[in-house]
Amino acid sequence: MRLLLLCAGMLLLFGCSSNDTPEAASASGPQVANEFQRFAPRYPVEEARAGREGCATVRYLLTPSLLVEQVEVLDATSRHFANESAAVVPRWNWQSLGADRVAEPTWFETRFEFCLETGRGNCSPEQLQQRTTCRGDDVVSSVGYRVR
């Protein structure tokens, strides 16, 4: 699985580029994504049991009809974090943005931070924003608790 993710990442980095694909969202990307209520992905039970924290960055294409047509994992510290992150984006209520908000297909990137709460403030938005394992400034956090 890691080899597959590595190959996919290499393809994204070194693959041929095309001028007919929409560019990644600039500063307007996070602004649009923050205009409605987003919910965090489920914290993977496997990772909570193991006491692991991590992240995933996903890239997704939002169409003018406010449908998510493609979700690609760009970075992830585990396949469980990648799967949960990729699964949550299409379930967000994009329709609440309004029909005129996205004029053309637009790529967005969101970083998902998975943090196990210890009661010491380690999962605060400020602490999560400082993490740099996965790329991205648009951060959604999933706070979990260790499962025994």
pLDDT tens digits, one per residue of 70-94: 999 999 999 999 999 999 999 999 9
Residue 46 tokens, joined? 């496997």
Residue boundaries of the structural domains of the chain: 2-6+23-144
pLDDT for 16-68, tens place per residue?
222 233 344 433 455 666 677 889 999 999 999 999 999 999 999 999 999 99
User: What's the N-to-C CA distance of the chain in angstroms?
Assistant: 26
Residue 11 tokens, joined? 């393809």
pLDDT at 50: 92
User: What is the domain class of 2-6+23-144 according to CATH?
Assistant: alpha beta
Residue 57 tokens, joined? 């960055």
What is the rounded average pLDDT of the residues 126-139? 88
Within a 10 A sphere around the Cβ of 123, how many other Cβ atoms? 19
Closest CA to 56 of 78, 76, 42: 76
SS3 content of the chain, % helix, strand, coil (to 5): 30, 25, 45
Helix (H) or strand (E) segment spanning residue 58: strand 54-62
